[in-house]
Structure 1
Amino acid sequence: MIVFGAPRRYVQGPGVLGDIGKELGAIGKSAVFIADERVMKMCGETVRQSAEAEGVALTLMPFGGEVTYDEIARIVARIGDAPTDIVISAGGGKTIDTGKIVARDIGAHFVSVPTVASNDSPTSHIAVIYDDQHKLVGVEENRGNPELVLVDTDIIIKAPIELLSAGVGDALVKVFEVEQCIGAGGKNVFGAGSPLTALALARACYTTVRENLVGAYAAHAKGKPNAAFEALVEAAVLMSGLAFESGGLSVSHGMTRGLSAVPGVATALHGHQVAYGLLVQLELENRDPQFMADMREFYRAAKLPLKLSELGADQASNSTVQTIAELSAAAAHMKKFAREITANDIAEAIGRIEAA
């Protein structure tokens, strides 16, 4: 059995936030808008006016800053018994993942409004939960994918280049993970086989990222979206999200179990963590030196980390490497690989990366 999941509707382009009310009106009549203080100032009034113009009552709900079980419970308690057809989360992955589980817990539709293209969380139905020290503690599921994903590229382009770089990293890894997952007979995020559609999307995602990076980064420097920027954002948010959920994950994401346990590295952006994880995966795949040299050149152009120190580690000591290796080896995604992977395999791969 194969399963393919996706949002009901995806809208992307400059200035589309101003029309969100029309989209919301087709979903329900009451909504809660979750955002942190910065995003609330940037988007809250636009969303309120657009929603109310279409007869959708909107309640603004501040987000505390970290996606934890306590924060989810706090927001659910604040909503209480108030009629809520829609939960809207605007911001980065933390806010969006929080909104998914709030929506699940109160039985509402979910809408994601990413203000950065730093990862593919906006399209998915899963939420990664951390503790207050940003250590990964759980993965939860909404009842389904978002009802709507609305991506305003006039907003996305104002975010720091480091965040766009993280989105590039998260998108880049997908083709390698989907190919490994399918080759190993692994299951996708829905617990089913991976459709060929997901593999095609993963490959298109990789090609789109490689072909549009330079033009998109140039547009970012000028602060005005162009065709390359639109393509890169689509790859980072839509293609990447559909590919990973329906295609499956492997070593690159499995590495986050160990990387998130190391001080300094734990606070690195998810897309940068999995980009480093991809280097480990490619070493485990025994990729030839020419391939690795090409990939490293792309990493430099994309501003992706090539060393643990670039992820925030004080040093790549033996104890640090061993911690990463042992925790990562135990991750479920590691089983979706062509052969069994041990902690020693991972440690040796990290050693080669750090020595390059």
Structure 2
Amino acid sequence: MKVTVGPAQYVRNAGLLSNAGLYINKFGKRAVLIGGNISREIVEGPLRKSLSEQGISLKQSLWYGGESSETNIDRLVEQLSSENFDVLIAVGGGKVMDTVKAVAYQLDKPLVAMPTIAATCAVATPIAILYSDEGEFLEISRKSKAPELVLVDSHIILNAPFRYLIAGIGDTLAKWFETKCSIKKAVPTAINQTAIAIAGQLYHTLLQIGQEAVTSNQTKTLTKELEDLIDAVILVSGSVSGYGGDDCRTAAAHAIYSGLTIFPDIHQTYHGEIVAFGILAQLCMEGVGEEEVKTLISYYQEVGLPFTLKQMGISSLTDDQWKELGEITVTIEDMANMPFEVTPEMVITSVRRADEIGNEMFVVSN
């Protein structure tokens, strides 16, 4: 048995960026930074200073390419293959992390992850989600590694656009709804039952502190609720995947997310926002009562998650587009974790029904 629960070390503090070099020092004296353009603009100056104080040189600062795609991964691997350095530092969001985890795997280098948003658990998992250069989901890659170290500066997360945190709530909610569904196909073990227990606690935590944490982010006030939510989204959520593995990682909610990425109109909607809608569709697919779906939508309304296709940029779909959505979604690896066979027609029906219930709730609230 081989289990990678998550990163070897996780540190989260306000103002941590100014001391980052103290933690990175143990990996060597030559570093390469890879990240998004905005993230590098925020982080690079203070990080370079902190590294320099520890005698560490930042040899290169590279843009990751805009998508977690094989094209960008291969380009970075080729670019760095002849570079003499000791450690990779990734700064940014989930697609940056997935890209650099794959690069670190191929180059066999230590990886330090510094997320600048709390939108996914990408830094705490050993897998990488790959997309086409245009942003369409392709596959879950195991040619990836979990970071040796994750450094989270609460002030950076606090000052990020609050919509990212809302998306993080959506992605983290899925841990409970997907794991309690996919575990039905697995033989119970001490490890996967631990994953379920963590997912259940995560769900209760989100219900308790979600609204307060979002308000903290909106008002730029660092509170215990916000820091708890940061830890829940970035670290604890990833541990569910770590303990659960293929027994209870993802299911229909993420498959529906991946299927919806075939429509360019949705590409301005964040991963966790689409996953949140996917949860509603999964519940419809499972045949749960309408009131249960509405109760969850009420929570979405509190924290600001979308619950209709229109809210995610999809005003209407043609019959051919509905058919394409159903046919592609059932081919996604995540869908195989459902405890029953899912057909394209089931996908179409559940997405339509979730959207109908969501629109009813939207009308009532307005």
Q: TM-score range by the shorter chain?
A: over 0.9
The alpha carbon displacement at 1:333 in A equals 1.8
The alpha carbon displacement at 1:140 in A equals 2.4
The alpha carbon displacement at 1:295 in A equals 0.3
2:308 matched residue in structure 1: 307
- Please tell me the residue identity of whatever aligns with 1:150: L
Equivalent residues of 2:123, 2:146 under 8 A apart = no
The alpha carbon displacement at 1:178 in A equals 1.0
1:222 matched residue in structure 2: 219
Report 1:48-197 matches (<5 A): 48-63=48-63, 64-142=65-143, 144-185=145-186, 195-197=192-194
- Mapped partners of 2:222, 2:78: distance in 1: 39
Equivalent residues of 1:268, 1:312 under 8 A apart = yes
Please give the per-residue CA displacement for 1:51-93, whole angstroms capped at 9, x wherever unaligned.
2222222223221322222222222233232222211110111
The alpha carbon displacement at 1:2 in A equals 7.5
- Mapped partners of 1:275, 1:221: distance in 2: 20
- Please tell me the residue identity of whatever aligns with 2:193: L
The alpha carbon displacement at 1:321 in A equals 2.6
Deviates most, 308-317 or 341-350: 308-317
Structure 2 gap segments, 5+ residues each:
358-366
3-state SS of 1:87 partner: strand
3-state SS of 2:67 partner: coil
Structure 1 gap segments, 5+ residues each:
none
- Mapped partners of 1:180, 1:334: distance in 2: 11
- Mapped partners of 1:273, 1:246: distance in 2: 24
- Mapped partners of 2:179, 2:4: distance in 1: 13
1:294 matched residue in structure 2: 295
Equivalent residues of 2:121, 2:234 under 8 A apart = yes
Instruction: Give yes or no for the alignment of 1:26 onto 2:23.
Output: no
- Mapped partners of 1:20, 1:234: distance in 2: 18
- Mapped partners of 2:294, 2:146: distance in 1: 38
2:360 matched residue in structure 1: none
Q: Higher helix proportion, which one?
A: 2
- Mapped partners of 1:37, 1:272: distance in 2: 23
- Mapped partners of 1:40, 1:337: distance in 2: 39
Distance change (3 Å), C-alpha of 1:2 and 1:251: farther
Report 1:220-259 matches (<5 A): 220-247=217-244, 248-259=249-260
Equivalent residues of 1:308, 1:316 under 8 A apart = no
TM-score normalised over the length of structure 2: 0.90
- Mapped partners of 1:200, 1:58: distance in 2: 41
- Please tell me the residue identity of whatever aligns with 1:282: L
2:332 matched residue in structure 1: 331
The alpha carbon displacement at 1:156 in A equals 0.6
- Mapped partners of 1:126, 1:318: distance in 2: 35
1:281 matched residue in structure 2: 282
The alpha carbon displacement at 1:354 in A equals 2.0
Please give the per-residue CA displacement for 1:189-245, whole angstroms capped at 9, x wherever unaligned.
xxx995222112211211111111121112112212100001111111111111134
Instruction: Give yes or no for the alignment of 1:212 onto 2:215.
Output: no
The alpha carbon displacement at 1:144 in A equals 3.3
Deviates most, 162-171 or 199-208: 199-208
The alpha carbon displacement at 1:134 in A equals 0.6
3-state SS of 2:83 partner: coil
- Mapped partners of 1:6, 1:329: distance in 2: 29
Please give the per-residue CA displacement for 1:260-281, whole angstroms capped at 9, x wherever unaligned.
1122124421111211111111
Alpha-carbon RMSD across the aligned residues, in angstroms, is 2.0
The alpha carbon displacement at 1:142 in A equals 4.5
- Mapped partners of 2:59, 2:95: distance in 1: 20
- Mapped partners of 1:31, 1:21: distance in 2: 11
Please give the per-residue CA displacement for 1:111-142, whole angstroms capped at 9, x wherever unaligned.
11110111111111211122221112233235
- Mapped partners of 1:37, 1:250: distance in 2: 32
Equivalent residues of 1:3, 1:195 under 8 A apart = no
The alpha carbon displacement at 1:151 in A equals 1.1
Equivalent residues of 1:10, 1:148 under 8 A apart = yes
The alpha carbon displacement at 1:147 in A equals 0.2
3-state SS of 1:224 partner: coil
**Sequence identity (%):** 28
Equivalent residues of 2:128, 2:144 under 8 A apart = no
Deviates most, 141-150 or 323-332: 141-150
- Mapped partners of 2:302, 2:181: distance in 1: 26
